[in-house]
Structure 1
Amino acid sequence: MLDDLRLEPLLFPSRFTSHRMRILVNGLDVVAAAYPPDGFHGQPVAGFMPSFLLGPNGLAASAEAREVAVGGSDMSEDRLTVRIHQAGLEVIWDCWRLIDIRTVLKEGAELGLGTFRFDPLTYAQEIAQATERANRMWPARSVAENFQAMLLPGSYQQGQDYGSWIRGYPTIRAPRDRPDVVEIGYYARDPTGQRYTMPGRYHITFPVDGTDPAVQAQAIADRLCHEDLKPLSVHQPRRRR
């Protein structure tokens, strides 16, 4: 009996800094299942970006076996990998490994993930349908992605220069259920200079419309760079561990 694959793009997920994917085999989230209940040292885990997983170097299957990193946290240190290849009338996933940098933490039966076999036609159709779902556009998504593109690599982390008021952007979101709003989370500079950032983070929303998304993104960036928007933002205190 063949297994059932479902790929669910997670666009602007609240707990990650980029689009992600939920990978379900027979209803089981394989990435979540491979990690401890608290993820990777407390960091949430999910399938990697749809643009990678749905591309030629991702889940696409051929007769040549490839080890593919399918998911992990935002830490860039850990990854869950699986070997993918097509043998005759089956696409096969096996040889699972959970890796921290170069150290294999668990593999094979230790992960509780065995060999999965898929029908090649159904497999290709699921990748095509997931690609269509991942590529859906709406006004806020266009603006948010233009805003992301304006930022330097590593922009979601503290340490970049974003003007007088901002230290970094931990979240940039455009939820599908709110197609006309961009949500931005930011770390605020401490105006006294005594601390690197103000405690916690701030969240603010910006309305968008169907006009040029690049122009709207630039306008948002200008406001964040030159105005103190904390009075208009919602403050989220730092969580105690």
Structure 2
Amino acid sequence: MTQKQVSDLEEELKNTKARLDERDASIEQFMKKIRDLENELEKTRQSESQMLESLMFQTQQIEQTKMDLEESKQDVMALQEKLDNLQTGGRNGFDRKGDMDSSLNTKTLRDEITMLRKEVKSATEAEEKSKKAMDDLASALSEVAMESSTANERLRLSEEQVAHLKKENERLREELELQTETSERLRVESEEQVLAWTAKEMGFISYIKKADEDNASLKHENHKLNEALLQHEKKV
């Protein structure tokens, strides 16, 4: 393994760590988005619950108003019947005192009918207002339900994105771990190769030094032999 290959692997390891950091930052952003969406969804649900309660209350009020209205109509019909009977009796002939009593009763009944008709009108108007309020509330509730559905969909998509990022993060972590192990193994191999080469180099140096020493020794011996030969030749 060359030094360049080790350097390339270390650079790839660095890039993988950077991508992993980016994924971690993205996950944190999405988690914050999910928390915000959950809070928004909770508020929407609370609003929806309150509107449902208001709608139920309005419905109860309308039912009660209908009952009161029907009761008032029955009272008007009963009084109208009494009034008709009194008027019919007056036309059939009574004494003077009876006519006076009949007139008083008729006036009283007319007043009661007028009052009841006002009550019926008021109850009818109240019913119409309650219906309009209930329609408005139902419309608002529909909008809130739509907002809740939209928030749910956004939350689901964000959760899917986070799940995808976490899965990708796990893959990058495994890749980073593998690259780290490979880098460490190659670093050790490179150091071992350097040490082995250094040992070989030292061996070569020692061998060359020993060869130089042996060569110098041989030269010295040759020089001595040459001198001895020269001395011997002189004597002869």
TM-score category of the 2 structures, normalised to the smaller one: under 0.3
TM-score by length of 2: 0.22
Larger strand proportion, structure 1 or 2? 1
Which protein has greater RCO, CA pairs closer than 8 Å, 6+ apart? 2
